[in-house]
């Protein structure tokens, strides 16, 4: 029987191996959006050594990208409340399709593919109903929109497909917004974030809510380990002087667990976790705070605090060999808690770093 230790060792060996289809795009290990020195926005492919192997233009600020599981194709999403998503042929250096949010909708900056790559799922806001929607797009037919699902809450931000399954997990942040008011938060007195697990047909499989005293903790970003353990990064909408937990760990069938650092370190995060990832060996989980200039590392099994790393405007984080790779708004690539490249680029990296695995 495969033990969890062997599973994690296998993950360490394979987590950063780009799929063969990405060889034509320079075999990138990670994707990241950035603003270059001239003020233009681009999507970069980064090699295992931290070099830029391709750079493709974006019409406006990007947020995150979804990598196709079979071919060198990435969907780059606008920062919320944007209405565009570009399908980029990273080998051919061209835009192969453009997704436009339906009338009365906007994207939240994230998406996820089905295991076979035939469907793309996008997090969206139905502004008239003030409810969350998961758009479904047919990647085999030029990304035609073919349906949608209820996200299970308000303000769905990130969506993931659980490894080895078709189950979708959605971070419903709980915050109502409207394009007419930009990024203003319209429902703080009533917000209720949750983590919702969905079948591809829209059936709700599980819902995880925070205790009432933490209902202002917006669940925003997600990472998943091969054994189904989910990590969620949160952003506190309450008083700035408070230091609530910003990391949620959950596996279906188990109660959720909240992880926190010692008070001074937790307070330094300024109530904001901008990204989350499991380490390359799966044993640790990291959250980052660009506001606080901090990254916190935790034991993935126990939730125990492991270490803090300080770096100005740190946000993007992804698995690297035995640890993590992080990006900063100052253009740095930084290894955390393991091996990885260190590099400086003349760009401002945006919020997320996406590992190709």
**Cβ neighbour number for residue 353 with a 10 Å cutoff:** 29
What digits encode the pLDDT tens for the residues 225-283? 999 999 999 999 988 778 999 999 999 999 999 999 999 999 999 999 999 999 999 99
Rounded Cα–Cα distance for residues 23 and 297 (Å): 32
**Calculated CA dihedral for residues 178, 193, 222, 224, nearest 10 degrees:** -140
For the chain (357 residues), the mean pLDDT of every run of 10, in chain order, is 41 42 93 96 96 94 92 90 88 93 90 97 90 96 96 96 97 80 70 96 97 95 97 92 93 95 96 97 97 98 97 97 94 90 95 92
What are the residues facing 65 on neighbouring strands?
76
What CATH number did the domain enclosing 162 receive? 2.130.10.10
DSSP SS3 for 7: helix
Rounded Cα–Cα distance for residues 231 and 352 (Å): 15
pLDDT score for 180: 61
pLDDT score for 207: 97
Phi, psi values for residue 21, rounded to 5°: -60, -20
What's the farthest any 2 CA atoms get from each other in the chain?
Answer: 55
Rounded Cα–Cα distance for residues 33 and 170 (Å): 22
Q: How many domains is the chain built from? A: 1
Q: Strand 30-36 to strand 332-336: parallel, antiparallel, or no bridges (unpaired)? A: unpaired
Q: SS3 for 19-34, per residue? A: CHHHHHHCCCCEEEEE
Cα-based angle 73, 75, 77 (whole degrees, multiple of 5): 160
**Cβ neighbour number for residue 184 with a 10 Å cutoff:** 10
Distances (CA, A) of 153 to 22, 180, 216: 35, 21, 14
pLDDT score for 338: 78
**pTM of the shown model:** 0.91
pLDDT score for 130: 83
Domain that holds residue 327: 4-355
Helical ranges in the chain per DSSP H: 4-14, 263-268
| Helix-then-strand count for the chain, H and E | 2, 28
Q: Left (φ > 0), alpha (ψ -120 to 50) or beta: where does 108 sit? A: alpha
């Amino acid at each position: 029987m495969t033990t969890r230790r062997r599973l994690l060792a296998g993950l360490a060996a394979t987590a950063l191996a780009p799929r063969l289809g990405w060889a034509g795009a320079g075999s990138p290990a990670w994707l990241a959006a950035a603003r270059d020195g001239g003020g233009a926005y681009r999507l970069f492919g980064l090699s295992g050594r931290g070099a830029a192997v391709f750079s493709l233009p974006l019409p406006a600020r990007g947020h995150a990208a979804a990598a196709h599981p079979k071919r060198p194709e990435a969907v780059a999403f606008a920062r919320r409340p944007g209405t565009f998503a570009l399908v980029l042929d990273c080998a051919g250096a061209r835009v192969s399709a453009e997704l436009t949010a339906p009338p009365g909708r906007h994207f939240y900056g994230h998406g996820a593919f089905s295991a076979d790559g035939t469907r793309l799922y996008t997090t969206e806001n139905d502004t008239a109903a003030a409810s969350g929607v998961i758009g479904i797009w047919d990647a085999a037919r030029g990304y035609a929109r073919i349906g949608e699902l209820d996200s299970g809450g308000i303000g769905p931000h990130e969506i993931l497909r659980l490894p080895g399954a078709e189950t979708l997990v959605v971070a419903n942040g709980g915050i109502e917004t409207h394009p007419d008011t930009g990024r203003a938060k319209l429902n703080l007195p009533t917000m209720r974030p949750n983590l919702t697990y969905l079948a591809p047909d829209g059936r709700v499989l599980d819902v995880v809510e925070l205790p009432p005293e933490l209902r202002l903790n917006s669940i925003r970003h997600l990472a998943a380990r091969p054994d189904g353990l989910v990590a969620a990064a949160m952003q506190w909408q309450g008083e700035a002087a408070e230091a609530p937990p910003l990391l949620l760990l959950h596996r279906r069938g188990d109660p959720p667990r909240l992880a926190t650092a010692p008070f001074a370190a937790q307070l330094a995060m300024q109530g904001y976790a901008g990204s989350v990832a499991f380490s390359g060996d799966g044993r640790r989980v990291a959250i980052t705070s660009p506001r606080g200039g901090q990254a916190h590392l935790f034991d993935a099994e126990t939730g125990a605090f492991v270490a803090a790393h300080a770096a100005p405007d740190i946000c993007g984080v992804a698995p690297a060999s035995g640890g993590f790779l992080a990006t900063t708004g100052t253009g740095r690539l930084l290894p955390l808690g393991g091996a990885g490249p260190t590099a400086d680029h003349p760009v401002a990296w945006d919020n997320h770093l996406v590992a190709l695995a």
